[in-house]
Amino acid sequence: MLQPTTDRRYKIVDFAGLPGIECPCGTARRAFAAVNDFPATVHQTEISLDARAHYHKRMTEVYYILECGPEAQMQLDGELVPLAPGRAIMIRPGVRHRAIGRMKVLVIVAPKFDPSDEWFD
């Protein structure tokens, strides 16, 4: 069992212990949002089959593919890009994007994730 790290200079998060939050991609477990001196958040996200295309005006996201099937793709400004475990994609502000196919990804978001910066056409 991991011990709380409230009084230490480092933080440890067990994603299994974080609540799942519905998002346009599926279900996200978001870490480090409350760490004031860390400029990003880290999400473990289960992508659903009905992920919605969206974009951000301020946030940059890096998707690191943990698990996916051979049919998995990312739609980036209308272009389809094949995915595989171990691949990473940096998505800058303004890029319309959605994941296609079931997958588990690690998403690093900078600056910190802000739900008011999710935009849909």
Q: Model pTM greater than 0.85? A: yes
Question: Would you say residue 104 lies in a domain?
Answer: yes
- Asked whether the beta carbons of 108 and 40 are under 8 A apart, the reply is yes
Token pair 């295309």 is found at 53
What digits encode the pLDDT tens for the residues 40-74? Answer: 999 999 999 989 999 999 999 999 999 999 999 99
* Residue 111 CB coordination number (10 Å): 12
Give the β-pairing of 103-110 and 41-47. antiparallel
Q: How confident is the model over 16-41, as a mean pLDDT?
A: 96
Report the residue count for the chain: 121
CATH of the domain at 75: 2.60.120.10
Query: SS3 of 94, please?
Result: coil
What is the number of structural domains in the chain? 1
Tokens of 108: 């690093």
Containing structural domain, residue 48: 30-114
